[in-house]
Structure 1
Amino acid sequence: MAIFDLSPADVLNELKAGRLKACVVGLGRMGLPMACVLAEAGFNVVGVDVNREIVDLVNSGGGFEDEPGLTDEVKKWVSAGRLKAYTSFGVIEESDVVFIVVPTKAVGSKPDYGILYSASRSVGEHMNKGLLVILCSTVGPLITERIVKRGLEEASGFKAEVEFGLAYSPIRATAGRVIRDLKSYPRVVAGLSNKSLELASVIIGQTTSGGVVKVSSVRVAEMVKLAENVYRDVNIALANEIALICERLGIDYNEVANAANTQPFCHLHVPGLGVGGHCIPHNPYFMIDYALSEDIRPSLMITARSINDSMPKHAVRLIVNGLRDCGKDVHGSIIAILGAAFKPDSADPRYSPVEELCDELEVLGAEVRVYDPLVPIDTLKDMGYDAYEELEEAVDGVDCIVIAMPHSIFKENLESKLQEIYDYMRKPALIVDCWRILDPSKVRSLGFKYRAVGRGLEG
């Protein structure tokens, strides 16, 4: 069906009649949940991924433990015959709309769009006239036009907005709650033409209760997604910098922030070990790279990235100084890291600041153990961690424990286990609390030495 030749009303009627087929290119952490949401909206969905293991896992309804609820959704739509995965891009030939949801990242400080360009060309090689392509990956300014449009046109021989439509609608979702966010957050939508905008809007609008935010151009939509993540990165950096000053003053950042945030226009963020994940550490460089190419130096964004990237090293300094206060050298000390995921209550350890923390400690000669009850132990071991399944085993005979990720399970249970943990550890025992989840007076009353990001020695 040449969906680009239909009116938005006709597209909606075809969807409600169950006659539209959507193809999702990229079945990763955002693409597969998007496929499930599209199936729920009424599409017959095919997914394409070059990773045979992922394709087989989808088709078997296999487990996707790092994203809550995803396994059940996949099983439901595969069993209903509404979702099937392939390694071949040939299924695009029978599709009415294609969603490109492949990963984009920065290598160092340079954006890498290699996967996106390759995917765009592969779509172009198999597309028919009348297709609507909706890009959902996060990209820098002008990338929809310079990379995706170019790849589609070169490979297909078709002209965008004449023989096929192209729209951009960046995904707004957080790992650990992707399906919920996709179904509830407002979605920003733009098109290379008004026709693509209207068609994409009616389609995307069926997937979320949050509605659609139409913007005037794909350039605006590109900047919207980047601005959201840069805002968070810069504000986290501000919180981290204030936290460092609080340490020197011997006061508690939490008390400062709680009081300051009673002012309606103040929204201080939470400082800690740094910024992890697939988005915030990478996306600012998409904007920075473009700005530098236009002789604009975005000093605030560059500085924010530097501050947030420096926090694992600061945590190492707290550990080294704390051990010295215990009469110990970091070389030869045994250190248990509690939490390995990239964010609280996540089971995904990829792109976590904990990786750098562990690497730095090992370079200094420490023996590092890792415990995270939310991350499968095989995943941790595959990443090279000396991983433990039980907290008691992880802390037995260690000199220091580091609260590296403030999982809810740690916030709720760790303080009640401090005496037991103290008994397991070598004395003097040190706790380094990167997220200030423990009561320092209670920790010290049990005999621990205590250090924390954003808390002075008296805090």
Structure 2
Amino acid sequence: MEYKELINIIKNKEAKVAVVGLGYVGLPMAAIVASRGYFTTGVDINPDIVNKVNNKKSPINEPGLEEIVYKTVEAGKLKATVEASEIRNSNVVLIIVQTPVDENKEPRLEALMSAAKAVAENLSEGTLVVVESTIPPGTTRNEILPVLESSGLKAGKDFFLANSPERAIPTKTLEEIQINSRVVGGIDERSAELAGVFYENITSGDVYKDAVEVVEVVKLIENTFRDVNIALANDVALLCEAIGIDAIKAINLANKHPRVNFHMPGAGVGGHCIPKDPYFLIKEAEKHGVNLSVIKAARERNSDMPFHVLETLESALKKQGKDIKKSKVAVLGIAYKGNVDDVRETPAEPIIKTLMKSGVDVFSHDPYVSQDFGGKFSNEIKTVIKNADALVIVTDHDEYKKLNFEDLRLLMKDKAIILDGRRILNPEDIKRLGFTYCGIGC
């Protein structure tokens, strides 16, 4: 298919689209693309995911997603398959798979390269391939392009290649796919133009085009900015704890300034992006002899916050004459953020595992997930809190903001401690009920 014909069928929503990877972003993207009128095929190696989608169900807990999956599958616009050969019939291919880091914080691109190989083996002439996965700088041109050209087709001539990193967060994925601005980078001008036209049909936000290497860096510095900002807030919180003032009050007042926008401190940073993306920059910089000292320090501070929670907990129990190893600790929140079921890189994991390793009686709760990291777990909050010496809030679920602590006080032991790792409670209200209140930053 020629460039002009491809751009026309994309504009007119006549193009067939394949989405490789039906995870937290891939499936919402496939559903939105299908809802826009494109015939869309989701490709995933997990048959359970494929079967659920084809049965008009969403395997992902994302507000509104199951409704769109139902409607688009019912309308014949969306289907799922484990067969990569289905890619061969597509005019546009989106690659949206996870790109984690290993224990040494090195990028792990096995899933991405496997997906690229599957695309290469089924690549048709005149296809636009877009990588939406977050990737280290230079990956599209230096890693993905050669794999795709192993098909015998030439990039920029026989097929087109671009990068446009996803920029959505859980609980708002559908909304943000459709309204956020988009950055698009092509290996050449025509690739960027084609990808730009496609995303203009997906989002109401602006679409910005630039070199592929620039766009790869954009997503990384966006999340690194957030990581550094949170680390600064955590530094402020630790200082405020030491000098006896409330960091949240100070931060809220500082944010009244028109050029200041502090994030909030907390028990740790989790999720699939912020704890990982800075390392893509750090490792790339090391290849060029550049030390990203600020970014490294921010990662270290945020990674240490779960252990600061543990130190605060042990100290508070000791002040009440209690040995942490002989105490029952209730942990509220397993998910990495409020109102989601995503446990990737959650700060709850090192908190729970460290307590268990120390022999502490730890009991965890979460209304959205049942991951216990090997410990005791219940979805019934009263069971978790009963006879607890301390309650640690790790996740800011709305349910926890509405807890009746007057009732919970009757279930917990005397001299009970509330450790608010997300600052979602009013300290004075908690103290008034007879609890010892500890919060990050106060």
Scaled by the length of structure 1, the TM-score of the pair is: 0.94
- Spell out structure 1 runs of 4+ moving beyond 4 A: none
Alignment counterpart, residue 299 of structure 1, candidates 293, 308, 316: 293
What displacement does 1:347 show? 2.2
Alignment counterpart, residue 280 of structure 2, candidates 283, 286, 293: 286
What displacement does 1:351 show? 2.0
- Could you list the per-position Cα deviations for residues 83-138 of structure 1 after superposition, in whole angstroms to 9, with x for gaps in the alignment? 11111110011111100001111113111111111111110011111111011111
* Partner AA of 1:433 in structure 2: D
Q: Helix, strand or coil for the counterpart of 2:101? A: strand
Q: Helix, strand or coil for the counterpart of 2:263? A: coil
Alignment counterpart, residue 133 of structure 2, candidates 130, 137, 142: 137
Tell me how large the CA RMSD over aligned residues is.
1.3
Alignment counterpart, residue 24 of structure 1, candidates 16, 19, 31: 19
- 1:418 aligned to 2:415? no
Alignment counterpart, residue 315 of structure 1, candidates 309, 323, 340: 309
Instruction: State the match for 1:402 in structure 2.
Output: 392
Q: Measured at CA, do residues 86 and 7 of structure 1 come closer, stay the same or move farther in structure 2, by a change above 3 Å?
A: closer
Instruction: State the match for 1:392 in structure 2.
Output: 382
Instruction: State the match for 1:82 in structure 2.
Output: 77
- 1:121 aligned to 2:117? yes
What displacement does 1:268 show? 1.1
What displacement does 1:389 show? 1.9
What displacement does 1:66 show? 2.1
What displacement does 1:314 show? 0.2
In structure 1, C-alpha distance between the alignment counterparts of 2:142 and 2:77, rounded to whole Å: 34
- 1:443 aligned to 2:430? yes
Q: Helix, strand or coil for the counterpart of 1:106? A: coil
What does 1:107-256 align with in structure 2 at a 5 Å threshold? 107-108=102-103, 109-154=105-150, 156-215=151-210, 217-256=211-250
- 1:380 aligned to 2:367? no
- Could you list the per-position Cα deviations for residues 300-353 of structure 1 after superposition, in whole angstroms to 9, with x for gaps in the alignment? 111111000000000000110111111111112111111111112222223211
In structure 1, C-alpha distance between the alignment counterparts of 2:349 and 2:305, rounded to whole Å: 12
In structure 2, C-alpha distance between the alignment counterparts of 1:311 and 1:179, rounded to whole Å: 31
Instruction: State the match for 1:369 in structure 2.
Output: 363
Q: Helix, strand or coil for the counterpart of 1:214? A: strand
Instruction: State the match for 1:39 in structure 2.
Output: 34
- Could you list the per-position Cα deviations for residues 40-63 of structure 1 after superposition, in whole angstroms to 9, with x for gaps in the alignment? 122100111111111111111224
Instruction: State the match for 1:59 in structure 2.
Output: 54
In structure 2, C-alpha distance between the alignment counterparts of 1:279 and 1:446, rounded to whole Å: 39
Contact 2:331 2:391 in 1 (8 A): yes
Contact 2:116 2:144 in 1 (8 A): yes
* Partner AA of 1:186 in structure 2: S
What displacement does 1:5 show? 5.0
Q: Helix, strand or coil for the counterpart of 1:105? A: coil
- Could you list the per-position Cα deviations for residues 269-317 of structure 1 after superposition, in whole angstroms to 9, with x for gaps in the alignment? 1000110000111111111110010000100111111000000000000
Contact 2:35 2:68 in 1 (8 A): no
Contact 2:177 2:203 in 1 (8 A): yes
Gaps of 5+ in 1: none
Comparing both chains, which one has the higher relative contact order based on Cα–Cα distances under 8 Å and sequence gaps of 6 or more? 1
Contact 2:54 2:73 in 1 (8 A): yes
Aligned length: 441
* Partner AA of 1:61 in structure 2: K
